[in-house]
Every structure is written in C-alpha cells, then in structure tokens.
Amino acid sequence: MRFWYSLSTAASLAIASLRAHKLRSFLTLLGVIIGVSSVVIVGAAIEGLGNYAEETTSKVFGSDGYQVGQLLQVGRLSRRERIERLKYNRRIRLEDYAYLRETTGKDILYSPYRLRSEDVRHEGRLLEATSIIGVAAAIAEIREVNLTDGRFFTEQEERNKVPVTIIGEDLRTEFFPEASPIGKTVKLAGFEFVIIGVQEKIGSAGGQSQDNVAFIPATVFNRIYGPERTMVLFARARPESGLKIDDALDVTRVALRNRFKARPGKPDNFDTITPDSIRQFIGQILGLIGAVVVPVTCISLVVGGIVIMNIMLVSVTERTREIGIRKSLGARQSDLKMQFLLEAIIMSALGGAIGLGIGAGVARIASIVSGVTLSVTLPYVFLALFVSSVVGVLSGWYPAQRAAKMDPIVALRAE
C-alpha cells in the first residue's frame, strides 16, 4: 500500500515539475522524439522497400517464372568474375530457344526476351525512350501479364509476323488519356503497329518506369532489328505438367547442359535466375542497410538520453532546498530516487510516444507521395520504445541517486 502511495506521489511531483518548465521539458524531449521517429521511419522504409521489391519481382518474373541467359547475376559478381563468366558461359541464341521448345516444350513454356529503346510517335506526339520488348505469345502466361484493356497477341499472330503491340500505362496516358487505344496505331522504329492491349500499371523498378513499354511479337522484333548475339529466355512450367519451379529449372538446365556439352562435375556454362534468388539478394541488401542505418539512428536516442540526464542534474541542483525539506519531513531515499527516476522515465516515454506518432505520420505521407507503401512494423516500434525506455532509466538513475544521497542539513542551507 505504501509503495503505491509513494509511486503516485512521485509521479504527481514529476508531472508537476514537467508542467512547471514546459519549454525546457519539450526541448529536452526533442532528442528522444527525433531518435524514435527516425527508427520508425527507417524501419518503415526498409519494410516498404522489401514489400515493393517483392511485388515488382512477381510482376516482372511471374510467381513461378525464371530466366536463362549468358550472364544474369551481374550485381553479385566482381568485375573479374564477370569477365571470366562471360568467357566461360555460352550465348543463348534463337536456335537454342528452338531447341528447348523442341526437347522440353511439352512441359515448359519459353519466350525470348529482347529489348531496345525507341521513341514512340502518335499523331505528331512523341514519347521518348520507350522499351520495345520482343517476346513470344507465351510471355503473357509466363509473366502473368495482366491487361486492363484488350488482349495479348496469339501464337498465330507471332508466326505470321503481324505488327501488333501491347502498350504500357505510360503510353496509354500520353497518347490516349480519355479514349480506349484498342485498334489505334502507334509508330515504333518507323513501323506502324496496331494496339491490341494495355498492360496494367506496374510502377518503377530501380528508378526506371516499367510502364513505358511496348510488347511486340519476337518475330517482328527480329525482322526489324535482325538477329542478336545473345538473348534472355523467360520460362515457366506448364500448369498441366505438375512441375514446381525448381523441377522445371532442372529440366531446362539438363537440356542446355546437354546442348552446350557441359562436362559432368563442371558448373553450368550459362546462367539462370529465379524470383527467390532476386528476393534473397534484395533481402540481403536491405538487411545490410538496416544493420548500418538503424544503429546510427539509435545514436540520436543516446544523445537524447544525455540531454535528459543533464537537465535532470540541473533540476536536482535547482530543487536542492525542496529535497532538504522533503527529507526533514520523513521522505526516504527510495522516495526521492523514485521521484526523479520517474520524471526521467516520463520524459523519455512521452518523447517516445510523440516520436512514434510523428514517424508513423511521416511514413504515411511518404507512402502517398512516393506510391510505395511504407509499413510501420511492430519490431521497429518495440525497438524504438525499448531503447527510449532504457535511455529514460539510465539517464535518470544517476541524478536520482544524487538527490537521494543529499545531506538534508546541507540541502536546507541551499538558497
């Protein structure tokens, strides 16, 4: 009973002290507020970027797709390793694509993926640096291309080299903001193409818009630009095959190793990449960023703790006579410790709560502005509040000890 009475008394005295010096208390809280909000914002950014990368990877690859090429994992290789891999790995050509379709096509869908950057024109208007992508009709199923209007081209249109195109949202917005573009034409690389579909909005990846694109049949692409020294293939197991992504990838690898005469025990002389490997790589990068940035933002909490300790020492000095009076009236050392410790903890907790609110608000505004959902997650919230609480206890402990051990006679003499 006495403990709860002492606790309530100490809390009321601590709150009264904070109210008596509102501006000083607020300035003291700034360090904790900034620290907590920084941790929350950084955590939300890391989580949001991870989710965004997951969504973008699924849209680019498809949920169960994978890629085959001469060299795909450039970001993970040093310059020397890259040069060595380019010497060792075989180029993927149209005849290799035809070979894979012939030997494994009953179980796996394949599509070449060739890309050029061209300006697109329509009735005197121009959209620069559009990605013209030459693919097979199967890419719609491999990558799970979703359309908001129209359809994808068929295998027959691909074989007959029909000049049709599926445009991205940027082209639709630029050239056809109010009407459906289906049946209209755009000029790509000097050739007229009929629009038969519009891809749903994807967003940006790596700072580059994924909506400034135009898909055309690979056969038409080859006729315009000619054969290429190497290409990338997209692939995915046919739904009726019952193969998982790893099984389908193994089938493709075995077929290509046989075609390229890779020796047993030697690594593949071509490259493959899956959505999981991309997600793993992105996760490692974000984990590294978090490991570096989060501790740095926590430093501001430590600075805030130092400020709180300094102000608490000033407060103890200012209230020396009050401490002497309380001791002379029977206050115990534990009562004084509790009073000043609670004052520091309340300041720190209040700063943590305000910082949490500001961090969540900034994350929300950034989500609206950037279009990337920044998620405030519980681990980062707990981390911020835990650190701010520890800061409050540690920064208030020494001043509380000093107040508790003060000689009441000396304290009463203080002016």
The mean pLDDT value for 174-192 works out to 90
pLDDT digits (tens, 9 = 90+) for 75-122: 566 778 788 888 888 899 989 999 999 999 999 999 999 999 999 999
Per-residue pLDDT band at 407 (split at 50, 70, 90): low
Per-residue pLDDT band at 218 (split at 50, 70, 90): very high
Specify the range with the lowest mean pLDDT, choosing from 30-34, 137-141, 274-278, 402-406. 402-406
pLDDT digits (tens, 9 = 90+) for 263-299: 888 888 888 888 777 777 677 777 777 777 777 777 7
pTM for the model: 0.65
pLDDT digits (tens, 9 = 90+) for 5-29: 555 665 676 666 667 667 777 777 7
The mean pLDDT value for 49-57 works out to 70
Q: What is the 3-state secondary structure (H, E, C) of the chain?
A: CHHHHHHHHHHHHHHHHHHHCHHHHHHHHHHHHHHHHHHHHHHHHHHHHHHHHHHHHHHHHCCCCEEEECCCCHHHCCHHHHHHHHHHCCCCCHHHHHHHHHHHCCCEEEEEEEEEEEEEEECCEEEEEEEEEEECCCHHHHCCCCEEEECCCCHHHHHCCCCEEEECHHHHHHHCCCCCCCCCEEEECCEEEEEEEEECCCCEECCEECCCEEEEEHHHHHHHHCCCCCCEEEEEECHHHCCCHHHHHHHHHHHHHHHCCCCCCCCCCCEEECHHHHHHHHHHHHHHHHHHHHHHHHHHHHHHHHHHHHHHHHHHHHCHHHHHHHHHCCCCHHHHHHHHHHHHHHHHHHHHHHHHHHHHHHHHHHHHHHCCCCCCCHHHHHHHHHHHHHHHHHHHHHHHHHHHCCCHHHHHHCC
Mean pLDDT of all residues belonging to the chain:
80
Domain boundaries, the chain: 2-56+280-413, 66-273
Is the pLDDT at 1 greater than 60, yes or no? no
Per-residue pLDDT band at 241 (split at 50, 70, 90): confident
pLDDT digits (tens, 9 = 90+) for 349-378: 777 788 888 888 888 888 777 666 777 777
Strand partners, 112: 233
How high is the pLDDT of residue 70? Answer: 87
pLDDT digits (tens, 9 = 90+) for 306-330: 777 777 777 666 666 666 666 666 6
